[in-house]
Amino acid sequence: MKFKKLLLASSISAAVLMTGCGSSDNNDNDKGGSTGGGDNEVCAEVGKLTGANLTVNGASVPVCELKGAITQDAELTTDYVYELDGYVTVGAGNEELASAAEVQSVKDNGVTLTVNEGVHFRSSGQGTLIVTRGSKIMANGTADAPIVMSSKDDGYDGRGEWGGLVIQGFAKNNVCGVGSTNPVCNAADEAETGRHGGNDNADNSGEVEYLIITEGGNVVRNDEEINGLTLHSVGAGTKLENIMVNNNVDDGIEFFGGAANVKNLILTNNGDESIDWDDGFQGNVQFALVRQAISDSADKGIEADSEGNTNAPFAYPTIANVTFELVDSSEDHSKLFSFKKGTGAKLINVAALGYDKCFNFEDDATGMNTGAPLVFAGVKFDCDGTLVSASKGATQTDANVGQDLDGTPVTAASLVDTSIALDSAYALVSGGSSSVSPEGTEAVSEQVDEFLMATDYIGAVEPGTAEANAWWKWAEAVIPAAFGSTPIDPALCVAGTDTGTTLEVNGVAKPVCELSGAITADTTLSSDYVFELDGYVTVGTGNEELSSAAEVQSVKNNGVTLTVDAGTHFRSSGQGTLIVTRGSKIMANGTAADPIVMSSKDDGYDGRGEWGGLVIQGFAKNNVCGVGSINPVCNAADEAETGRHGGNDNADNSGEVEFLIITEGGNIVRNDEEINGLTLHSVGYGTKLENIMVNNNVDDGIEFFGGAANVKNLILTNNGDESIDWDDGFQGNVQFALVRQAISDSADKGIEADSEGNANAPYAYPTIANVTFELVDSNEDHSKLFSFKKGSGAKLINVAALNYDSCFKFENDATGNNMGAPLVFDGVKFDCSGTLVDSSKGATQTALNVGQNLAGNTVSAASLVDTTISLDDAFALSAAAGASSVSPEGTETVDDAANDFLMATDYIGAVEPGTAKATAWWKWAEDVIPAAFESAQP
């Protein structure tokens, strides 16, 4: 490594010439030897080995202690963890300078500290890194390998355990009030970290990007702590982008004068102000996410000052595209902005949520300096308490808090919007468009390349941005808790009991809320909790036997609605099962980005039979009771003793279920009786059931007992018994289903079709359309595709099946022969390489006559078989093999006018040929359980 000696004028104190502890005269890096694979020379140049190791990302890394002054160009590599012992300075510009010549000498002899991507600092006490004016820090982390400065212990949840990062520059401040001709300024830093200031607003202190500063803010003396990042008279030539300050005792970031520009700033859970400025700061901040009071106290979002306001430059920054969120709105210090002592500011396209008080003004000169007014444009502030508090001569009122970009006065009320909300990317859900832009609003004419970018939206993140693509996402990978929504409101577990334990969901530890017994009032389950089902948990009271039409109506009138928020996880064991009883509703509206997941308590999704499942009961018809249109009373017994079901209303509505994953279920209740993944007992077609996955269930993937339920975009993977099963006169429909059997464990038939009680109407007669069945491991003993028995009919239209041995098994003389309920096969291709037809127990089907097509013509088994078909990576057939001349549209058995469910298609299988895998309708589920979409495991 090359060194650059400092050559300073003799008037500078000898202390400035002090070499760092890394000089060869006093370095004792050989004590104890190197304890982990680093190049000893790297540490010898800047510090000394302590003989200790610390763990970084699972690796044991030796500690290199830095102390005193770094007076030569140096590079810090990932061979070491670096411990700051007290104030560690880079260069000699923090001393008082007496002349322009001394200023120039410090600039000419500046030191550059290079910090490689992925480097970790672990410090304690007053350990602080100070980059003095005239020198530079080149800390270029990356999104994948950020630089992290934290305390010595594990985790990032402490506060005040070490100091922070201080950068000093030669830019202007109003302590000196310097002009363009006088470069000498010696403004004193906060916390006695040195001197700062000059007359060069384009000054360059280096580059800092992808840096995390966390757990800092050590108290130097009473009421004087070190900020996370302190910028003393830093110039616009310095690059400051993608920086996170987390859990600091004092301010997240504080500017003392200068013209620094910061982009993509993340400030989370800091104890004092998140953004603070003073001494005539005229730089800019654009794209900042500020989250306060996540798990500890916080003060104001912004504290704006201009100490020495009788001197120019007046404080006048632009703060653009920032989102402030007070996570715990019960915080005493829930003020959003405090403007005092003469500062101006331009706040453009800024959003704030969860605050009580909006504006606090102090001093008669606040926002009144010529050329430095308070400007608010394109802003929305969620303040539900005091809007304006003015004191110490401040003249602002609710009727006049400042002006817009055109100079028109604005009222406090015009800036307030208490309806705004954030999505998972921290973008505004609605109302995020803006007609103004911060571009060109910089206060300092010497800005290096125009900094502020044009935007047409409010807040830190552009509305519509996917969370995975949000610019702050890199930091969440390191400190996920900073992006959670803690503390959790105990009221969110009102339907159950907080167990005092946590389970990890997507890297975030969430408290567990145990649900047991009956939920008898409307309830919302929030994704802030993980929910554990203790045995059978019922929603409503409709699972009991009902004796009259009046009791049926009472259950309907008093139905309970259980709302499950997107992204909610259930983690259960044993017979833990959720039962939505007839007359009540479940509103489980997950999304593709945030599906609802029901699984067992352990990590991963590869178990089987570790908990129960989801049961929904309804008032639709079944043939156990054989009810007609005038008799609503039916008390058919559920499987697995989960309650009663049935009625006479095929349009019955049990709520909405979408983007739900049910996995690892099927707990055994008693011998040969397990719980299905999803059980639908007499569920009506008024229920919305779309984008549902059942994976790794011991018993059936989905089973219908009567009813007229419709299911669209169904994924059934690696389930142990049948994938689709129906009974009791089911007359609903399934369209667009991907069925993958025997991926890593045993499986039974693709469909088992029954119609127990077939002497009664309604007969089982569903339409199964655009389904793809795939037996992944074709060596499975139970490789039968379809089993039809006890009088069931069915219409299978545009269905494909691959890798099966036996195609059809028929049982019972009434199978497919009930009046108006024949077996229909049209637009189908079945890859069956063994027995085509197996008939028993009086069934009359043969290989020459397995059913009929939509036109009523007899079809043979051989005409339905095609052993050449294959699937692409989207699970679609080829264009040639997948074309169909028939459509399922209009083939619903329950032909009520409101039941217009089946869509027109002209292709065979679950996915339209030519669909790209990335846009396949099932792709959302692969992101959660990729193994379900892989080939067979050996």
DSSP result, 836-904: -EEEETT---BTTBSEE-TTS-EE-SGGGB-TT----TTS---HHHHB-S---TT--SS--TT---PPP
pLDDT (0 to 100) of residue 433: 95
Cα–Cα distance, 401 to 397 (Å, whole number): 6
At 273, give phi and psi (nearest 5°).
Answer: -65, 150
Residue 116 tokens, joined: 């490689």
Cα–Cα distance, 546 to 550 (Å, whole number): 9
| Eight-class DSSP state of 47 | -
The reply to whether 505 falls in a domain is: no
pLDDT 10s digits, 244-283: 999 999 999 999 999 999 999 999 999 889 999 999 999 9
Where is pLDDT greater, at 457 or 793?
Answer: 457
What confidence tier does 365 reach under pLDDT thresholds 50, 70, 90?
low
Cα–Cα distance, 192 to 512 (Å, whole number): 47
Cα separations (Å) of 238 from 110, 136, 235, 363, 451? 15, 9, 6, 32, 12
pLDDT 10s digits, 191-218: 899 999 999 999 999 999 999 999 999 9
Cα–Cα distance, 598 to 614 (Å, whole number): 9
pLDDT (0 to 100) of residue 372: 81
Query: Is the domain of 230 the same as that of 154?
Result: yes
Residue 711 CB partners (closer than 8 Å, separation 6+): 689, 690, 692, 702, 732, 733, 734, 735, 737
What confidence tier does 692 reach under pLDDT thresholds 50, 70, 90?
very high
Cα–Cα distance, 274 to 254 (Å, whole number): 8
What confidence tier does 299 reach under pLDDT thresholds 50, 70, 90?
confident
Would the pLDDT of 37 be above 50?
A: no
What confidence tier does 15 reach under pLDDT thresholds 50, 70, 90?
very low
Residue 133: CA atoms inside 13 Å, Cβ hemisphere, count? 39
Query: Is the domain of 457 the same as that of 517?
Result: no
What confidence tier does 366 reach under pLDDT thresholds 50, 70, 90?
low
When computed from its CA atoms, the radius of gyration of the chain, rounded to whole angstroms, is 35
pLDDT 10s digits, 854-900: 999 999 999 999 999 999 999 999 999 999 999 999 999 887 767 78
Query: Is the domain of 732 the same as that of 865?
Result: yes
Residue 613 tokens, joined: 């499942």
> With contact defined as beta carbons under 8 Å apart, do 894 and 908 qualify?
no
pLDDT 10s digits, 784-801: 799 988 878 999 999 999
Cα–Cα distance, 212 to 902 (Å, whole number): 53
Residue 214 tokens, joined: 């966390």
Query: Is the domain of 467 the same as that of 582?
Result: no
The reply to whether 42 falls in a domain is: no
The reply to whether 261 falls in a domain is: yes
Cα–Cα distance, 220 to 755 (Å, whole number): 80
Q: How many domains does the chain contain in total?
A: 2
Query: Is the domain of 735 the same as that of 849?
Result: yes
Query: Is the domain of 465 the same as that of 547?
Result: no
Dihedral, CA atoms, 828, 759, 899, 692, nearest 10 degrees? Answer: -60
427 residue type, one letter: A
Cα–Cα distance, 870 to 858 (Å, whole number): 27
Cα–Cα distance, 790 to 809 (Å, whole number): 12
Residue 815 tokens, joined: 């199978």
Residue appearing with tokens 């919302």: 524
Mean pLDDT of the region 129-143: 97
Where is pLDDT greater, at 519 or 395?
Answer: 519
Query: Is the domain of 168 the same as that of 101?
Result: yes
The reply to whether 12 falls in a domain is: no
**Best CA proximity match to 367, nearest among 438, 443, 315:** 315
Residue 612 tokens, joined: 């129960």
What confidence tier does 486 reach under pLDDT thresholds 50, 70, 90?
very low
> With contact defined as beta carbons under 8 Å apart, do 648 and 628 qualify?
yes
The reply to whether 8 falls in a domain is: no
103: left (phi over 0), alpha (psi -120 to 50) or beta: alpha
* Final residue of a structural domain among 450, 477, 504: 477
pLDDT (0 to 100) of residue 9: 31
Question: pLDDT > 90: what percent of the chain?
Answer: 66
Query: Is the domain of 77 the same as that of 143?
Result: yes
Where is pLDDT greater, at 356 or 521?
Answer: 521
pLDDT (0 to 100) of residue 395: 81
* Final residue of a structural domain among 422, 454, 477: 477
462 residue type, one letter: E
Cα–Cα distance, 419 to 343 (Å, whole number): 30
Query: Is the domain of 525 the same as that of 467?
Result: no
**Best CA proximity match to 750, nearest among 823, 813, 802, 713:** 802
Domain interval for residue 329: 52-477
Would the pLDDT of 537 be above 90?
A: yes
Residue appearing with tokens 């003392």: 256
Cα–Cα distance, 293 to 101 (Å, whole number): 48
Cα–Cα distance, 820 to 815 (Å, whole number): 12
Query: Is the domain of 581 the same as that of 706?
Result: yes
Query: Is the domain of 737 the same as that of 590?
Result: yes
pLDDT (0 to 100) of residue 190: 87
The reply to whether 550 falls in a domain is: yes
Residue 689: CA atoms inside 13 Å, Cβ hemisphere, count? 30
pLDDT (0 to 100) of residue 495: 85
Cα–Cα distance, 540 to 521 (Å, whole number): 8
* Final residue of a structural domain among 425, 455, 477: 477
Range with lowest mean pLDDT among 62-76, 682-696, 751-765: 751-765
Query: Is the domain of 322 the same as that of 267?
Result: yes
Mean pLDDT of the region 38-58: 83
Where is pLDDT greater, at 781 or 350?
Answer: 350
The reply to whether 212 falls in a domain is: yes
Helix (H, G, I), strand (E, B) or coil at 481: helix
**Best CA proximity match to 187, nearest among 199, 177, 201, 197:** 197
The reply to whether 10 falls in a domain is: no
Mean pLDDT of the region 571-575: 96
